[in-house]
A and B are shown apart, each in its own frame.
Chain A
Amino acid sequence: MVELNTVIFDLLYLLAAILFIMGIKKMSHPRSAVFGNLLGVVGMLIAAGVSFAIILENESVQTNTTLPLGTIVGAIFIGTFFGTMLATRVQMTEMPQLVAIFNGVGGLASVLVAAASLLAAKEDAMHVEVLIAGGISGLIGAITFVGSGIAAGKLQELAFFKKSIPLPDVIRHFLNLLMLAGCIWCIYAMAVNGDVAINFIGICILGCALGYTLTTPIGGADMPVVIALLNSYSGLAAAATGFVVDQPVLIISGSLVGASGIILTSLMCKAMNRSLLNVLFGGGAASTYEEDGEVYATVIRTSPEDVAIMIDVADRVVFVPGYGMAVAQAQNAVSDLAQQIEERGGTVEYAIHPVAGRMPGHMNVLLAEADVDYSQLKTLEEINPDFDEVDVAIVIGANDVVNPEARKEGTPISGMPILNVDDARQVVVIKRSLSPGYAGIANPLFAADNATMLFGDGKAMIQDISTALKDLD
């Protein structure tokens, strides 16, 4: 006989899941997105509240046990404290690291829930499917935890995470396969023999090792793919945990997050014209850069004053930001310069390549922080047909995403969709030097007839242009 309370609790869980879906749906426009996020908060409050109600009700039925309410409330308090600290203190430029850390924390939480629930389960509840789900949750969660930790360390540019073990690719792949096979064997042994503790620990250790070997060789411009993929994993781990504790709300929410991560991953891969396998196992771009004097023979240097004059007469200016803008913290300077241009009657737009920066949407967040209106942020598809009507395109800290070599055959970036900056009437490239981007190839754009180079720190150069523009009056 189903009790009324159970029905109410289940329906409330379902409501929470619906709120999550609605919340993400509201994210389809910046105006409604804040409300969508609040829907998510309400959903989470409902879900957590119902869980409390359920265990409190259980306690009132079984009178011989007392709940460690102090522990629960304490844990919630600690978690809230650290969560608030992270959410309020972290700079917008550090957002990729923060998201990576949250991914890892989520993965670890899934592992711990699976472990606790397998340890505490009664003998008659140790079903095959529960054990398998627990094993999968432990495996994915462990990979996510260690992988995210390494990704965050690399993004923070900590020296410890920069070096990877110099193994030949073949051996690395073989090791990965071996460890994966070991995990699957552990899951099988756990499901069939029921030696939960040993096998689960084995799965976690192997999962951690896998997370390490999978993420260490990847870096630089491939980071957006890794973060999106780990985001997906943290969701899948939560979904697997849902099978362990038999709660559909976990399955629904987890698979939502999983789908979100997978979509972003595939978008990132498409924006680089590479397959996911190539990104994960390609073993980094070969840095076979030689001084390409031939390509760069016709490079023209310019000065901030010349650029200011160029901008002064321009009607339409497009900024093309890349990771270099984030490194130089130049977003506010760019926004100020844009404001000046607008006051002089020009229009300003920002052309943002999908893989610019170190995570999906990285540039957009930085520019939004600098008070740039979202209607000025243009995607690749929106801005590319318009580039021949652009008077001045200012490339700041971007390289591979504007490299015309991508249109040719036989280069490392062939077929990658790029911003057609070279179609603009005049191009200014602000860069420290002529060094190549992540793909390791020379960029003919720098030497094009309509392009001039402005060497120096992004922020300083933009500020110099600003002052020069002011002095023109």
Chain B
Amino acid sequence: MNRIQTEVLVIGGGATGTGVAWDAALRGLKVVLVERRDLTHGTSGRYHGLLHSGGRYAVKDSHGAAECIAENQILRVTHAHCIEDTSGFFVVLPEDEGEYPDKFKAGCEAVGIPCVEIPVAEALRREPLLNPRISRVFEVPDGSSDSFLAAHATAQAARNAGAQILTYHEVTSLIMVGGESDRRVAGAVVHNVVTGEDTEIHADMTVNAAGAWTGKLAAMAGIEITIMPSKGTMVAMNHRLVNTVVNRCKSPSDGDIIVPSHTVCVIGTTSINVPEPEPLRIEPWEVKKMLEEGDKMVPGFAQARVLRAWAGVRPLFQDTYTSGKGRDVTRKLALLDHKEREGVAGFLTITGGKWTTFRLMAEATVDDICRHLGTERPCTTATTPVPGAEQGHYWVGHRLHEIEEKHLQSELVCECELVTRTMIENAARRNPLLTLDDLRRDVRLGKGPCQGGFCTYRATGILHEMKKAGSWEVNMSDDASSAAKWEVAYLQSPGHNLVSDADSHEDNGRAANTADSFNPNLLLRDFLQERWKGVTPILWGRQLKQERLDELIYMSLMNVDHLPDKELSSPVTEFYLFDTTPTAEEVADV
């Protein structure tokens, strides 16, 4: 078994985990981060992408709101290129009139959220599809974030500061030492799910940043943490019906926010307690509810084309949690020091919070780590931009602009989201990549209207060629032998990927070693299944037409149901499967 010695082991490659790794590495600590899948496989990659102004919590949770606005302003600098400056509206619909709007305004003022009431006419001029019956509009500095890019950029920043990032490494056990009175977590045994190798990682401090899996991980140390997994379902529309974040000005509830996110807009969410973080089933009523609620803010919303639906899990934590209602739980961060709580040393859990406050959560965590390690090192993340931030905020047209300026029209692989061949080749070389789904997170492959209809086979072909030429390796190690360079700052930019890393590749003779972990048929099947999972809950109207065409391409033309290597599976194959058994209600409908 391999053995790594480190000061800090971070478990979880979401926003929080990468943030902790980044912060700790900047403070000069030796850090290893492990993630069981790709970065942002969990909740960080499955939310609506709101950069909170804090407005949503201004009335009920002023502490959470204050954290949001402070972090909002910091991330706009440190992660500038991961954010679109959309601004945000809180709109008062006829049914929402009452005391709340004034409370909202006062709440924003109390915690310092810039909040300006603007004339309805101006709001309608800026967002012409908005319900004209709204009576008041408040503008706040909400934004839209690319949480995939942000976690990757944060990980790169951590790695540049010396951290080691191990994706597709699953914790199989925590290393427990000491007796009944001085138990401590001394690291973890991790399993490389790609190569099958196990590694013992010994650490002075282990951080549980496992998000929705926090409870499960803590249980490995014999600690009980009541994490309430609260499922939120989101629905993405085919194009941006609004270019500003639109919130209902009322107590947060289901389907009251529309977030423009790159080329789509996302409505969210539901809030349903679930027993397990995976698998998540999207119920028909959830989709219906989202569209009905969307229709109230943007009349006609429910008739627009729906692209897909997905669900994420909020890792809600409350010590004295009793009510059973997810929305009542505070959204402020929770740092659990298990030495103080349960007498288990060397082990911290960071949970609660939200994407917008991930940096603050990391700061609090690493402050505590330093205290435990007996060292005093100030946090510098608030003033240290991650690689790529110099690009400034992204804007919806930036890819089209770059494609046009550099005349890359004929290079497109994913036509919907304007992904060029070189972007794919470089993404495969610049950070660990196992599946096309990883590529989706890296460069937005397959996220557009055709949902992979035209790019899946193209991207598979490209990776297959790279594999054969030895210019891409499926190798999740992060050491000298690693092919991946961890350069993700410009992955999203067609104009900055004019030259392929693959072209400059020098044959290192390692290509043959990893053949088993890559198979083009599996790559294709996995991604088709992954996309299928997201469109099934919304399969009607225009997206049904689209899927019919996709079906003809893959089933009739390519006969993918009868490709060889059927028995192969990747670590994520199972995740892409979903339960298609009809519910009792659905059966009754038939």
Chains A and B bind each other: no
